[in-house]
Amino acid sequence: MQAGAKKREESAAMKIAFSTSGENLDAPLDSRFGRAARFLVLDAEEGTFELIDNAQNLNAAQGAGIQSAENIIRAGADCLVSGHCGPKAFRVLQAAGVKIYNCTAATIAEALEQFKAGKLQAAAGADVEGHW
């Protein structure tokens, strides 16, 4: 095991990515992953977050899910909370060790509460077809 991987496992810090169209915790949780306007990546230990613009994938003819997954991985997210996740994005995220949680909460704050309370279950596979 590499030192960086070991440190990540031992650390209590967790980064949680949420699909959204908004800019804060009260923003709506977007039901789409690949075509979400942006992602809010919350550092659960620090209580801070960063926004990742995903506008380039809103109207992409193809590859939106894969490109969005790569954005999440580059941000260092440990998990993703979104309404839905297609098969290609799911495979990319899973290969990088990012856990995916499907959620129907109206806002990021509600989704975060459900996540913290253990009410969300890690997805075993994609829950929608590609180009959804």
pLDDT tens digits along 54-83? 987 767 767 788 999 999 999 999 999 999
Q: How far is C-alpha 61 from the chain's CA centre?
A: 21
pTM of the model: 0.85
Confidence of residue 130 (pLDDT cuts 50, 70, 90): low
Residue 37 has a pLDDT of 93
Whole-number Å distance between alpha carbons of 90 and 127? 9
Contacts of 124 (CB under 8 A, 6+ apart): none
Neighbours of 109 (CB within 10 A): 15
7-44 residue pLDDT tens:
334 344 599 999 999 999 999 999 999 989 999 999 99
How far CA 32 is from CA of 7, 11, 111, in Å, comes to 32, 30, 14
Domains of the chain are 13-116 (3.30.420.130)
